[in-house]
Structure 1
């Protein structure tokens, strides 16, 4: 039986030996997965294809997981948690039982002792075929990415031989999935486009650091330029940290949701898993905003309008109504409640629909962390001339008026985009960074003395 170790050896044939440490190639691995999904797969929209990975799901974008048929070899401890043949994605089993397209989930397969634990991914679509893996000894690690058809053909042959020995129905499913793809078209320039994109992503998320002493002495004219470079380095490091946090959390959330598909979970276990799922989602969104703020601050003038996400017509009242239940659950974990008030017949606003949902969730999180347990977060949306006014306020017997935002910002500012709340111990976007993000989405944030935030959005 062919092992996954043999599969990695096949992928590594003709590749120079590595010289990196494990932490370095792990960053390369996550960056390669992000580049593959965000720069090459998601822009295509509708997709068909298949993927095979070990020892955990390598793909994490929900749209891709729903469109592509997958197989994942998982280790014993995870296998023991799931019944034989159970999917790792919520909804996959129900979809297959209903006779619909089986590409809406992925199938779990057992990882054997000789397979090793280094990650591997083989992805085949009609217009993109690629295989990735990590390989090498402790101080000679390397990331291997192969696009050549001959190597990929041998890799699929090894995988098919393995499935024939261990799971013949899975082997038949793999053959059928390959046949459904029809003729494959390999783009010879794919590697030439992939590696520069990966290099750009690594340059952004994993900068080299130079420590510079800060002394109170007369400075040469170049001092301001040095400080500017230091700030950019700090922002790049912040991007790296947020990336390192978000990506593993996305994998954890995927696995948690797969466990929630089980019908035999005790109530207390289900409750705790749902709590973990909610916390993962909150932190993914929270660190995503920090990443965005750092990226925008580092790469361009914050006052410039965005070019990648143009403003568009957005039904803000409908969006708030859709988010109400989610926010209720999130606030309940901190013993808070939500009251949403929407005026009737509100017009649409001009904003960035792709990022507004996450930004509003971050605003709720930022505002609610300053409220004591038992308080109510009041969210209201009403007309204000040529704008809509979104207002957040707090109600409760233990509420104390907040300090003016300028004083709070000066007291809590940590670096270019973060602030530290010594009362709650939470790290969050600074007031200035939050304002800049809303400006890029067409809004204007105001925060004055007292317990309240207001965002104005222009009406379409």
Structure 2
């Protein structure tokens, strides 16, 4: 007699045991789910600097932080039509991106398994490391939805047993792989108090992304207090907007990349999907930069996590992506980098995002035929990075008179002539300062950024 297959729904029902009844709507619980993923990864896992672990999710990859994906082993149950496991890297990105920006390939660190109809579509994520174990899921009927979070050893043990039974039925090899991965972790530390940390962090994140916008008349003696808090309200609203924009774009990009793994796509469909992937990535990065500026606005500007960074190598590595981005606009990228330059002190991950944003910012005013030049030169105890724009005679004659950007709050500025929305000058300067750079603008021709050369030689070995 065959053993009945353990479904994903069975795991979620086990997680729901002993959890109070809830009456959340679908939209509310989905918002909680995305906030829970952000809380778990950004506020709990990343600060722990974990070196190993495993994760299992359904119906799509729920772990998305590149630093975690590189260190953790994963299993994902997803619809058969979305996951073609014969060649995970096929069609993930256009050649220019896949060759130079491996961190965008979010499929390399997990095994793909087929999601069955009886599994349902409610999301599930289980993360196991020697230091922390946690399971997240959504469960419940319509208007009785709830977010589940379990970290008690008894529940986690039952979930792993159910998963082992599931894998034994559908894929014995992966069942053995999961057992081996768990065995290599050794003794797991219990974390019964994790819920005391998780739920307050989640509440704070939900509060930050859902600001109150009540309109009311204030007494005269409260007007000053209202003015001082208006900036915080603007920041909270902007933070909420960036989150609400990036979240669906990330989901769309994940689905697009899953479709691109199929081998039988018509050429025109594949081309269109790649274009959508590129646009999603650019907008996710753009609003990610705005989000970083918002976070910096909340706190006192400071330089943190600065390390030795090879700026010349970074520009060379990222240039194929920028060149492809500019070519789609009919623009040309020119790279002019002095060889054998010393390293600077910066945050490489944040600087990559910042430089991509500056390329986008400086190219927005150019018409077809324009050129954007990156020059990197030594300048005493600093390196000088120049981002210069150049218009041909043809394009210059067709340009209308430039219109100054208008500040619309502490972080953003807006160009009335073009409708372009971008970081304000002050926000750009603060972000670059936090990354070790100092910005000076060149009127109508780009910008110059100075980075201090590291004085430490022993770290460069």
Superposition TM-score, scaled by structure 1 size: 0.84
Q: 1:244 to 1:327 in 2, by over 3 A?
A: same
Task: Give the corresponding residue for 2:321.
Answer: 326
* C-alpha separation in 2, matches of 1:19 and 1:145: 16
Partner of 2:166: helix, strand, or coil? helix
Alignment check: 8 A CA contact 1:118 1:134 kept: yes
* C-alpha separation in 1, matches of 2:109 and 2:190: 25
Q: 1:348 to 1:109 in 2, by over 3 A?
A: closer
Among residues 117, 123, 127, which one is paired with 2:121 in the alignment?
A: 117
Among residues 191, 195, 204, which one is paired with 2:195 in the alignment?
A: 191
Among residues 403, 408, 412, which one is paired with 2:404 in the alignment?
A: 408
Task: Give the corresponding residue for 1:80.
Answer: 81
Task: Give the corresponding residue for 1:19.
Answer: 23
* C-alpha separation in 1, matches of 2:183 and 2:275: 42
Instruction: Encode CA deviations 1:408-439: one digit per residue, 9 max, x unaligned.
Output: 13xx3223211223343332212221122122
Question: Gapped runs of 5+ residues in structure 2?
Answer: 93-106, 455-461
Alignment check: 8 A CA contact 1:205 1:240 kept: yes
Among residues 441, 447, 452, which one is paired with 1:453 in the alignment?
A: 447
Task: Give the corresponding residue for 2:288.
Answer: 288
**Counterparts of 1:36-435 in structure 2 under 5 Å?**
36-45=40-49, 47-75=51-79, 79-83=80-84, 85-86=85-86, 105-212=109-216, 220=220, 222-261=222-261, 265-297=265-297, 299-301=298-300, 304-306=301-303, 309-397=304-392, 398-399=395-396, 408-409=404-405, 412-435=406-429
Alignment check: 8 A CA contact 1:127 1:185 kept: yes
* C-alpha separation in 2, matches of 1:417 and 1:445: 16
Q: 1:319 to 1:167 in 2, by over 3 A?
A: closer
Q: 1:440 to 1:334 in 2, by over 3 A?
A: same
Superposition TM-score, scaled by structure 2 size: 0.84
* C-alpha separation in 2, matches of 1:59 and 1:281: 17
Alignment check: 8 A CA contact 1:86 1:108 kept: no
* C-alpha separation in 2, matches of 1:431 and 1:157: 55
Among residues 32, 35, 40, which one is paired with 2:36 in the alignment?
A: 32
Deviation (angstroms), 1:351: 3.2
> Alpha carbon RMSD of aligned pairs, Å?
3.0
Q: 1:87 to 1:43 in 2, by over 3 A?
A: farther
Number of residue pairs aligned between Structure 1 and Structure 2: 433
* C-alpha separation in 2, matches of 1:87 and 1:207: 44
Q: Which segment drifts farther, 373-382 or 109-118?
A: 109-118
Question: Gapped runs of 5+ residues in structure 1?
Answer: 93-102
* C-alpha separation in 2, matches of 1:380 and 1:170: 50
Partner of 2:396: helix, strand, or coil? coil
Instruction: Encode CA deviations 1:195-230: one digit per residue, 9 max, x unaligned.
Output: 23323322332333323579xxxx835323202312
* C-alpha separation in 2, matches of 1:207 and 1:294: 14
* C-alpha separation in 1, matches of 2:340 and 2:114: 55
